[in-house]
Structure 1
Amino acid sequence: MDIDRKQFTLGLVVASMASGLHSATADAQGTDSMPTTPRAAHQTTYFFKNSAFEYVFLTALGRAYHQGGNPGKVLYLTRQVRDGDFEGAFQAFKAAGDEASALADASLAKGRKESARQAYLWAQNYYDSATYFVDGSADPSRFLPTWERLDACWTSAIALFQVPGEPVEIPYEGVKLRGYYFRAPGAPGRRPLLIMNNGSDGSLLDMLTLGGFAALARGYDMLTFDGPGQGYALWKQKLFFRPDWEKVISPVVDYALTRSEVDPKRIALLGISQGGYWVPRAVAFEKRIAAAIADPGLVDVSTSWTAALPKPLIELIAAGRKAEFDAIMAKALDPAAKTALGFRMRPYGFESYFDTFKATMDYRLADVAGQITCPMLVTAPANEAFWPGQSQQLFEMLKAPKALVSFSDSGGGDLHCEPMAYGLRDLRIFDWLDEVLA
């Protein structure tokens, strides 16, 4: 998850840049301090002082609400992992994923399909959590094999649903995007459809726990996909992010409308994390979407990249001085930060620091937000660490019917994508959506 949902690995780099780049511009040495994600000023600490660890463990715990893990297992892991030990955290979650996957395989071999389905979901949670630590571990090359285990467990799990998830292919600019269609159990006739749009590094499991399961329980069908720069499209097809996301969503809608069970007047689009930029951008142009949700709202993706940059470096970007910018970055970042930043850069398709930072500045909504005509809900969690204040900014830009839903720490719904309040989040989003699509 963006901590993916989240910009987790970007957060690692932000802290390194905040000190290392300032000292580099002064011709001094960088810091050896442990990088973390941004921490909001009033964020409560439950398990770890390192906010990167804190967020991933809270997310792993929150997924248990939708059967994506066992709370006791995650709490046990919080006691086994040393704060800031990336190798230890990777090993702990990887082992938990292996354990859950083995349980699932054993249950499936005995014909216990529901037990296997649940255990495959647990394994996805733990493997996905492991991927957020691997770039700071002793061997970052373990990312792809771990992701492949995560992906295999997804395939195994959705085949065991009451109504199995259906792999689909979505035509897109000469290739096929990988997608999955889920039908609501027992729902007759044409049904409303929720299209789930991931963020910059979220897993397919997030598409279920952050909206898919709630949609199916309320009689919606759900369609999700790996867009350019996401999941399979990145790792296997080498497709990269693009700011004009309507060029992605329109083919997804085209595909949805080929299905006889979809009510064409009740198609909604929900974006999480960086999807909070992509969804508003898409519906500014794609008018077949009846309602949209941004969790959270974004107006400028680049701020989470540039927040830690000293002013002289920002001026180098503005002046187009690529060689100087890249040289300073190469000098300032320690090996761990370079690895983490390289991971964050990969979905954008650039090897140059300058090219990547410059590209993020194309991900802005100010010029198009006024073109949105469908009703839109924008979430605004307290203690949003990556794009603070941008939910309110997006809400104020909207001219169409709109709602701003705040989540507080007292209700457990603070932090990026509300990792500790999935039930409350589902209630607030779908009560609004049910009313809009009625």
Structure 2
Amino acid sequence: MKLTSTSAAHLLAAVVYLYLQPASGANNSSKAPTLPLSSDSTFNFDLLIPLGLALTGGSDISPVLGVANKVEPGNMTSYYEEFYKLANYTKQQAEDPENAYDAINVRDTWFSTANYFRRADFFIHQNWSNPDIMTLWAEQTSAFNKAIAALPIPGKRIRIPARKQNFTIEAIWYGAASTNTTAKLPTLVVGNGFDAAQEDSYHNFCAPAVLRGWNCITYEGPGQNTVRRYQDVGFIPQWEDVGTPVIDWLYENQASVVDRDSLAILGNSFGSLLALRVAAFEPRIKAVVAIDGIWDFYQSAIASVPTDLVLLFEAGKKQEFDSQLLERRATDQLSTMAAWGLDQGLWSFNTHSPFDFITQAKEYEVSDFVKKIKVPVFIGNGEFDSFVTGQPATLKQALGTLGTLHDFNGTAGYHCQTGATQEMVRSFFAWLNKIFPKSM
């Protein structure tokens, strides 16, 4: 069969991806930069997420390692069950009146409770009617709200109407100084992407930002956790319709504490592309942090699809592509990564058609708006980041002198520097302090 250059590129991407992300149960420890937490590479990565949040009070180390010890590699039900047990156990500890004397510990126990409920939710989106999709989120939200209410400067949930489309943005504001100050401080706007929650962003970005004297606001738009659940809206390409109302809110409600000359937007994973989209159309943004820099979301979406099905997709055979891919998912013929990616993609893009999901993914490409970006961009590039293989370098090349490519190697080389938060935060804040020297 003769392949076009585009087909060949997709096949190569899939081969590379599958090499780095073995099928469920395969042992990839010889290639991993850290001691594996699971013989399933996808589970290994996803167990690093809650473990990494321990740095800012979002988990306790041994309980997460205990889950890792019990979870059956590649068994998504087992993953859900073990984190659900840990979440409820930790919630009981947070509610124990005998522990109430230690307010800081209770706060962090609520943070951990919220984290464990989020982790229990991670692999359950194949069945949209599963009531746990809603109940687990209600649990995590309640726990997280208790925790941020107990911060030295409490976090504040806000809802921001989108002005051009029919949805409401869910956000959380973390001020770096009390409301009676007249100081205007640098401010970081933080958005996730394909799957992570804004509650995760507090631990990864906002807690470190506030300690450095930065205000921080996280937000979620269509396709992301709260908006997808409670407003039934999937991802939209026009992400400036999400980002601009957030900046409007800052200007209208936090004008006394926000330094308009030191306003940066950070995007995590798929969120890096979304943040770049906001910066392209929103002149009030002065810098972008892209962790890790995605150039073309379609490349990431198609990468774990079996190569024979990629050819069906490229031939436009929707019915065959959908039926065969869904059949393989139903009969456990996909790798853990491919199965989760399909489940999450369908749910977050609000479609039951894999063909439609991947077709929609083509609408998310930085090349469509890169020439409109006029501000400096920090681009993270993880050595072992197979989600975005080669894309950060492409982004840097397109941005030219506006782009700063920062390589994260070794143990910091996982996707979005998962498990290496200190190195990630240290690196991009050093860059931000050069962009905004007054913020130091």
Query: Is the TM value for this pair above 0.5?
Result: yes
Contact 2:93-2:99 within 8 A present in 1 as well: no
What RMSD in Å do the two structures reach over aligned CA positions? Answer: 2.9
Find the counterpart in structure 2 of residue 181 from structure 1. Answer: 173
Find the counterpart in structure 1 of residue 429 from structure 2. Answer: 430
Find the partner of 2:287 among 264, 287, 291. 291
Contact 2:298-2:364 within 8 A present in 1 as well: yes
Contact 1:290-1:437 within 8 A present in 2 as well: no
Find the counterpart in structure 1 of residue 242 from structure 2. Answer: 248
Classify the secondary structure of the residue corresponding to 1:151. Answer: helix
Residue pairs, 1:75-114, within 5 angstroms: 75-106=65-96, 110=100, 112-114=102-104
CA–CA separation in structure 1 for the residues paired with 2:91 and 2:435: 40
Find the partner of 1:229 among 223, 239, 247. 223
The answer to which of 115-124 and 400-409 deviates more is: 400-409
Contact 1:101-1:119 within 8 A present in 2 as well: yes
Identity value in percent: 24
Residue pairs, 1:398-417, within 5 angstroms: 398-409=399-410, 412-417=411-416
Find the partner of 2:324 among 325, 328, 331. 328
Q: 1:416 to 1:197 in 2, by over 3 A?
A: same
CA–CA separation in structure 2 for the residues paired with 1:141 and 1:317: 32
Classify the secondary structure of the residue corresponding to 2:400. Answer: coil
Find the partner of 1:280 among 272, 276, 282. 276
Contact 1:40-1:385 within 8 A present in 2 as well: no
Classify the secondary structure of the residue corresponding to 2:388. Answer: coil
Q: 1:416 to 1:155 in 2, by over 3 A?
A: same
Bigger relative CO (Cα 8 Å, ≥ 6 apart) = 1
Contact 2:25-2:73 within 8 A present in 1 as well: no
Q: Which amino acid aligns with 2:39?
A: K
Residue 380 (structure 1) shift? 0.7
Find the counterpart in structure 2 of residue 419 from structure 1. Answer: 418
Residue 430 (structure 1) shift? 0.8
The answer to which of 386-395 and 84-93 deviates more is: 84-93
1:190 aligned to 2:194? no
CA–CA separation in structure 2 for the residues paired with 1:132 and 1:218: 31
Residue 222 (structure 1) shift? 0.6
Find the counterpart in structure 2 of residue 166 from structure 1. Answer: 156
Contact 1:163-1:185 within 8 A present in 2 as well: yes
Contact 2:296-2:366 within 8 A present in 1 as well: yes
Residue 117 (structure 1) shift? 1.1
Find the counterpart in structure 2 of residue 205 from structure 1. Answer: 199
Find the counterpart in structure 2 of residue 238 from structure 1. Answer: 232
CA–CA separation in structure 1 for the residues paired with 2:122 and 2:25: 12
Residue 264 (structure 1) shift? 1.6
Residue 317 (structure 1) shift? 3.6
Find the counterpart in structure 1 of residue 299 from structure 2. Answer: 303
1:379 aligned to 2:393? no
Residue 359 (structure 1) shift? 0.7
**Structure 2 unaligned blocks of 5 or more:** 1-13
CA–CA separation in structure 2 for the residues paired with 1:398 and 1:95: 47
CA–CA separation in structure 2 for the residues paired with 1:140 and 1:397: 43
Contact 1:162-1:185 within 8 A present in 2 as well: no
Find the counterpart in structure 2 of residue 215 from structure 1. Answer: 209
Find the partner of 1:43 among 29, 32, 46. 32
Measured against aligned partners, the alpha-carbon deviations of 1:10-51 in whole angstroms (never above 9, x if no partner) come to xxxx99x979xxxxxxxxxxxxx9647997993245221101
Of Structure 1 and Structure 2, the greater helix share is in 2
Contact 2:329-2:339 within 8 A present in 1 as well: no
Classify the secondary structure of the residue corresponding to 2:416. Answer: coil
Find the counterpart in structure 2 of residue 263 from structure 1. Answer: 259
Contact 1:86-1:136 within 8 A present in 2 as well: no
CA–CA separation in structure 2 for the residues paired with 1:272 and 1:85: 27
Contact 2:263-2:287 within 8 A present in 1 as well: yes
Residue 236 (structure 1) shift? 0.4
Residue 110 (structure 1) shift? 3.5
Contact 1:297-1:378 within 8 A present in 2 as well: yes
CA–CA separation in structure 2 for the residues paired with 1:369 and 1:127: 38
1:119 aligned to 2:119? no
Classify the secondary structure of the residue corresponding to 2:228. Answer: helix
The answer to which of 267-276 and 196-205 deviates more is: 196-205
Measured against aligned partners, the alpha-carbon deviations of 1:302-328 in whole angstroms (never above 9, x if no partner) come to 112212445664454445432333233
CA–CA separation in structure 1 for the residues paired with 2:392 and 2:28: 18
Residue 374 (structure 1) shift? 0.6
Classify the secondary structure of the residue corresponding to 1:170. Answer: strand
CA–CA separation in structure 2 for the residues paired with 1:40 and 1:400: 38
Find the counterpart in structure 2 of residue 345 from structure 1. Answer: 346
Contact 1:381-1:406 within 8 A present in 2 as well: yes
Q: Give the TM-score, by structure 1 length.
A: 0.85
Contact 1:276-1:294 within 8 A present in 2 as well: yes
Contact 1:58-1:419 within 8 A present in 2 as well: yes
Q: Which amino acid aligns with 2:140?
A: L
Contact 1:170-1:179 within 8 A present in 2 as well: yes
Q: 1:314 to 1:73 in 2, by over 3 A?
A: closer
Q: Which amino acid aligns with 2:317?
A: R
CA–CA separation in structure 1 for the residues paired with 2:212 and 2:433: 9
Find the counterpart in structure 2 of residue 358 from structure 1. Answer: 359
Residue 77 (structure 1) shift? 2.4
CA–CA separation in structure 1 for the residues paired with 2:96 and 2:26: 38
Measured against aligned partners, the alpha-carbon deviations of 1:317-366 in whole angstroms (never above 9, x if no partner) come to 44543233323334433255698424421211222221111111111112
CA–CA separation in structure 2 for the residues paired with 1:219 and 1:405: 23
Classify the secondary structure of the residue corresponding to 1:229. Answer: coil
CA–CA separation in structure 1 for the residues paired with 2:27 and 2:377: 28
Q: 1:346 to 1:163 in 2, by over 3 A?
A: same
The answer to which of 326-335 and 37-46 deviates more is: 37-46
Classify the secondary structure of the residue corresponding to 1:328. Answer: helix
**Structure 1 unaligned blocks of 5 or more:** 1-13, 20-32
CA–CA separation in structure 2 for the residues paired with 1:206 and 1:197: 10
Measured against aligned partners, the alpha-carbon deviations of 1:263-313 in whole angstroms (never above 9, x if no partner) come to 222111001011121111221221110111000001111112212445664
Contact 2:309-2:325 within 8 A present in 1 as well: no
Measured against aligned partners, the alpha-carbon deviations of 1:138-163 in whole angstroms (never above 9, x if no partner) come to x9543332222111111111111111
Find the partner of 2:55 among 56, 60, 65. 65
Q: Which amino acid aligns with 1:91?
A: E
